Structure 1
């Protein structure tokens, strides 16, 4: 555990904020489960500043159900090299191949060809854990390679442990009744459920080809499916409905053998159904609330967790709504172009801890889709079973707003971070500049803050606070964060980037509703507000940068203080708006 995290825990005792795990930890795709008197989070494991998804082995954190401020690191639960499909003799060669040929992989997929990387499955993707009828714990996962290559071509692997936190040992692959490996539909993102003794596995992905009017006659669709799924044209067309979409099967008590064959749980063709605006993409998860089943999934919007409900575990689901978006898109009518963060893949589920329901999801950092951090929010299931969309916050699992007085908080717990022109990531590492959570060694901070950047925190109790202190530094070539791996731009981001560049050139800060320039002040400063378009309650003026060519000078953090008018603000958002010509890095904020 990093000392910096303990420092913040000591300064902010008995409070918890988003992300709720240490800032050096990256556990996306989180499946929360209560086992005994603790809540466990099982997820993928991204690397800080990594160049692709899920580069590290599984680790587990847990917390007492009566104290969600006290998350404990349980250690490594399972290693990728324990899977028999792990390429022990070719890992280094495969990594070099991924770096050298990432763009070629994209071109091969566009042509419908099998990319070489599909066979190099060295990372473990989104897992889930379920307690079997024998009392043991079973881990379900799939393997994939760089940038997800090969993630749709393999089986569902299973590992077992006597304890939820592990250590897990490889058990086998989900198999058919004849002992052969089960490969029906697309084995991806498995979720597990013990439904009163019935073991259900949900999995799948969907790209929506079947809804196109020229499917299956258009050869490009079939070629894409062949490339992604590693299947022949004949096999793909042999499915009476589709090889894609979310499916469910049941298992025997051995937790490996298929008992009931996989079948779709929602329509493959969504046009004209309740799923049309929010089609399933990936991230299946199932929960049972009373006598109703809740299917949680990541939609094709790719920034939101949605839900659907049914009286049955395997059919008749109706779309319910969005639970959370990592850009707050849809919350109180917010449009995509007004997103409050960089958006991108999210994956998670819901859990009831004592009397409160929560949704666990993830956010993006490092200007990429490959360093994702787990966050959580309180949700409320209404009497009619509906769940209203919740906003992303900084206080998350905390019992209420964060107590600010005499406390110091890391800047990266911001829940809103935007320059007004934030991109949507899709399997991408961006090289264009925009504000982002990042790190340089053990320093974790918000970087590339430019004129007009809005940094938001929800929510604080500012009772007794009279001043705020900000620790920051100017960004230059000596402290600027550079990607550890190759820049990768997915073709799905091209149009978004073009739009952003055109709009930024045309409008600049003029379109920022939160930006009110004080032309009488020639020094950079932070305007402090309690609403995006509200008036200032304070201002922190920064000193001018003194030019220096010494690297050590660029690494020094400096503190600046300003007074706040906080009368009666016991549950408030706090927004920092930067005004300045030079880019900034922001490490922490303290309340006095």
Structure 2
């Protein structure tokens, strides 16, 4: 019996909605795992929720995620915004963002999954990120859109700012659509928006944050203010000055380029928050995407990244270009369906449409419909597909033997032609399926062989241009 793909992108179950994920590798009771701490989009009509849950995976298998349950619940009858967790000594400290991020408390636990208890109010602010340095000193970073970001050293109580250490505006901040005030610190270079996450990388202090671009980025299809980026700057000191870094992640989906290099996004970008982490010798960026028609059902995503020092003294993070073996530039890594499954998704399992990273061409704005039903085999459909829409998956692994058939499942029986393409949304057609409206599942033979790893796209064609369709899942068979 066929199984459903799990641990892809998003890497948590398709019913789970944990954005803002701060990844941490902790060894507890002799087992080393990567833990993710984020907010919890369960309110459905607003950001986040009233509890935090903790998910983890063994460092040698980032497709095998386990939920440890609720780690912290609000003590103020409020929505909890993005947290962070660090370990110092034998204690784990959670910086919980009560009252929609306006009150930061620090709670503690003897296990990385909590429960985190005895919250103590702090003077930290929005989106706190914490760094425990190699010498055991502790630094806090925080700040929000259209307001300064801050850095300060904390006392041994993990809550109190050490006198004389507060630094204001280590990065210039961006504008803000709901508070467009220029206080003299707005920067088109830094564009700090929110999501502070300090990390130590090869001896450098790396300030990861959500950047808001105020200027066009044509190669990524960005022409209006956009804060779908995770970016970074780096320094020799925890307080800066911070030098130019770059962009690590952008959640606008696959970027289509024209002959002049101008890009078009294929996914609904939205706010971004996360960080990087070295896991079992490989670096990854943890970030989030949007589902639904708003930003209230975000999901945890992961991509491998490259990290390297250049002869110019710059730290490069992301998709790095090398010249004669030396890094010379970097750009955001691509947004994929495979995530940490770097060999591609198994073509012979059920693959939910909810893993698509390319949804393009719909006249109604096709999107992945959020699901909250906690069941084992789940698929989240792409809905509001219309004539000419393509839905794509990067990447699928076919192995050494070519499949003979492909199966496509709609959510409801409709009359539509589905063309299966590989490598590009305009690529080679390998199968045609003609749904005549009497069934929601169809099997078709492949007209050509496929082996190895490929991007796969489904093109929907209909006589009625106003008709809409819902794509549920697909699989291949030998």
Bin the TM-score by the shorter chain: 0.7 to 0.9
- Residue 353 (structure 1) aligns with: 279
- Residue 31 (structure 1) aligns with: 22
Q: Distance in 1 between matches of 2:316 and 2:356?
A: 28
Whether the 8 Å CA contact 2:421–2:430 is kept in 1: the answer is yes
Shift of 1:298: 0.7
Cα deviation 1:453-494 (Å, max 9, x = unaligned): 221101112232122111113499xxxxxxxxxxxxxxxxxx
- Residue 223 (structure 2) aligns with: none
Moved more, 29-38 or 464-473: 464-473
- Residue 446 (structure 1) aligns with: 382
2:442 to 553, 560, 577: 560
Partner SS state of residue 412, structure 1? helix
Q: CA RMSD in A?
A: 2.7
Q: Indicate whether 1:68 and 2:62 are aligned.
A: yes
TM-score, structure 2 as length reference: 0.82
Q: Distance in 1 between matches of 2:404 and 2:235?
A: 52
- Residue 400 (structure 1) aligns with: 343
Shift of 1:188: 0.3
- Residue 142 (structure 1) aligns with: 97
- Residue 218 (structure 2) aligns with: none
Q: Distance in 1 between matches of 2:435 and 2:190?
A: 45
Shift of 1:398: 1.0
Alignment of 1:129-208 (within 5 A): 129-132=85-88, 134-145=89-100, 151=101, 154-174=102-122, 182=123, 187-196=125-134, 197-207=136-146
Q: Indicate whether 1:55 and 2:46 are aligned.
A: no
- Residue 390 (structure 1) aligns with: 333
Q: Indicate whether 1:42 and 2:40 are aligned.
A: no
Shift of 1:337: 7.2
Q: Considering only CA atoms, is the larger Rg found in Structure 1 or Structure 2? A: 1
Q: Indicate whether 1:250 and 2:153 are aligned.
A: yes
Shift of 1:395: 0.8
Alignment of 1:495-574 (within 5 A): 524-530=416-422, 531-544=424-437, 558-565=440-447, 567-574=449-456
- The structure with the largest helix share of the pair is 1
Tell me: CA distance 1:372–1:566, structure 2 relative to 1, closer, same or farther (3 Å): farther
Cα deviation 1:497-551 (Å, max 9, x = unaligned): xxxxxxxxxxxxxxxxxxxxxxxxxx52111112122231222211236xxxxxx
Whether the 8 Å CA contact 1:265–1:314 is kept in 2: the answer is no
Partner SS state of residue 34, structure 2? strand
Q: Distance in 2 between matches of 1:278 and 1:452?
A: 39
Shift of 1:558: 2.1
TM-score, structure 1 as length reference: 0.67
- Residue 276 (structure 1) aligns with: 188
Tell me: CA distance 1:359–1:274, structure 2 relative to 1, closer, same or farther (3 Å): farther
Q: Distance in 2 between matches of 1:460 and 1:38?
A: 27
Cα deviation 1:274-313 (Å, max 9, x = unaligned): 9625511000101111111221111112111111111121
Partner SS state of residue 308, structure 2? coil
Whether the 8 Å CA contact 1:39–1:65 is kept in 2: the answer is yes
Partner SS state of residue 127, structure 1? strand
Alignment of 1:396-475 (within 5 A): 396-404=339-347, 406-419=348-361, 433-439=364-370, 442=373, 444-463=380-399, 464-474=402-412
- Residue 77 (structure 1) aligns with: 71
Shift of 1:246: 1.9
- Residue 575 (structure 1) aligns with: 457
Tell me: CA distance 1:195–1:454, structure 2 relative to 1, closer, same or farther (3 Å): same
- The structure with the largest strand share of the pair is 2
Q: Distance in 2 between matches of 1:30 and 1:332?
A: 30
Shift of 1:414: 0.7
